DNA sequence: ACAGTTAAGGTCAGTAATAGTCAAAGAAAG
DNA sequence: CTTTCTTTGACTATTACTGACCTTAACTGT
């Protein structure tokens, strides 16, 4: 099944769902101990899966009584947010940024998991046949497809 | 008989049939080991036999805990013609040819006039910002958008 | 107050575990 | 004999995980 990082991610997300205010406070050392890993593994999970682009804000404090707080931020207007996300795509788009954006759009319910896979598949198919400028083509394709989805579902 | 690639193809398809949700997760290295071949042989099989055109979506992740997931999506018979049209697009697409294709798709009722306009607008927007390779980008964009429409409205 | 101790969390670079790419060699088909 | 499909392997890219070392904040005794 998934990796340790996946499990930690799932665990934190579950806690977030169960929380009243979409935020949880963690103890890095405690969590690492629960999952039998080094503390820095927690930083790895936070850095790769709880980014701002995916809609999470992480704040922390060191020292005695230190903590890590993870908040899932909701946007007032999903459509506006989606459009802003699209605007943030420049002339180039890496695979990683695409994944972040898709994860976010799926998260706010603008696209379904199936739509997400379809987009991914199409982009992979199209970018697979060229050797140069994949990031440029990916930017255009993702912008075009998402724009189409937004327009036709609005 | 058949080649090694054929056997690997058959094996993956068998797994897909046996799966509950028409999708399987593979380990490239494991599969290569099972068939006593180099790992890149698996990529060859996926690239030549499990394409979007044939109704498969392939996604993968590298690194520790990496995987390859193959999903099979059903295509209606009515859409075969449209899919063939898409195949004919090739690596470049002029504005004139695009118009021809859009017209035909509109004729057979696969896309509405509104969708047609939306596609035109998006393609114009995306191709307008580049100076070279407009026909190449247009081919990708039109293929991507039409493919998306066909798949999501099937 | 101050200094020392304790209790957090942060960084970064290195290692391991996967998968991807590309071009060239080999095999099969026409 | 030429072209197309298959197979291989060397090189590359990405992701996960660990551990040594660093930074910050609170507490404690004098």
Is some CB atom of chain B closer than 8 A to the CB atom of A132? no
Q: Is the CB of B29 under 7 A from strand C?
A: yes
Q: Which long-range contacts (CB under 8 A, 24 or more apart) does A111-117 make?
A: A111/A146, A111/A149, A115/A149, A115/B152, A117/B57, A117/B59, A117/B71
Domain boundaries, chain A: 4-72, 78-153
* Closest nucleotide to B61, Cα to C1': C19
**How would you label A91-122 residue by residue, b for 16+ Cβ within 10 Å and e otherwise?**
eebeeebbebbbebbeeeebbeeebbbbbbbb
CATH fold of A4-72 reads Phenylalanyl-tRNA Synthetase; Chain B, domain 1 (3.30.56)
Can you tell me whether residue B71 is helix, strand or coil? strand
CB burial of residue B56 (10 Å; 0-12, 13-18, 19+) = buried
CB contact under 8 A, B59 and A117: yes
**Bases on strand D under 7 Å from any protein CB:** 5-10, 13-20, 23-27
Residue B113 touches partner A, C-beta closer than 8 Å:
no
CB pairs under 8 A between A and B: 65
d(CA A130, CA A137) in angstroms, rounded, equals 9
How confident is the prediction along chain B (154 residues), in pLDDT tens digits per residue? 689 999 999 999 999 999 999 999 999 999 999 999 999 999 999 999 998 878 899 999 999 999 999 999 876 555 666 777 777 788 888 887 888 788 778 767 788 888 998 999 999 989 988 878 888 899 999 999 998 988 777 5
Q: What is the pLDDT of residues A20-38, one digit of tens each?
A: 999 999 999 999 999 999 9
CA of B63 to C1' of D19 (A): 20
CA of A38 to C1' of D24 (A): 20
> Chain B contacts of A141, Cβ < 8 Å?
140-141, 144
* pLDDT tens digits, A126-148: 888 787 888 999 999 999 999 99
């Amino acid at each position: 099944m998934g990796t340790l990082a996946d499990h930690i991610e799932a665990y934190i997300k579950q806690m977030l769902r169960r929380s009243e205010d979409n935020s949880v406070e963690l103890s890095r050392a405690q969590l690492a101990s629960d999952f039998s890993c080094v503390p820095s593994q927690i930083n790895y999970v936070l850095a790769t899966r709880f980014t701002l682009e995916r809609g999470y804000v992480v704040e922390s404090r060191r020292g005695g009584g230190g903590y890590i707080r993870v908040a899932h931020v909701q946007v007032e207007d999903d459509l506006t947010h989606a459009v802003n996300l699209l605007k943030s795509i420049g002339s180039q788009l890496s695979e990683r940024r695409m994944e972040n954006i898709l994860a976010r759009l799926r998260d706010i319910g603008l696209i379904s998991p199936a739509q997400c896979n379809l987009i991914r598949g199409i982009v992979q198919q199209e970018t697979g046949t060229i050797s140069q400028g994949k990031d440029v083509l990916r930017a255009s394709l993702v912008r075009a497809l998402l724009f189409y989805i937004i327009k036709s579902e609005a």
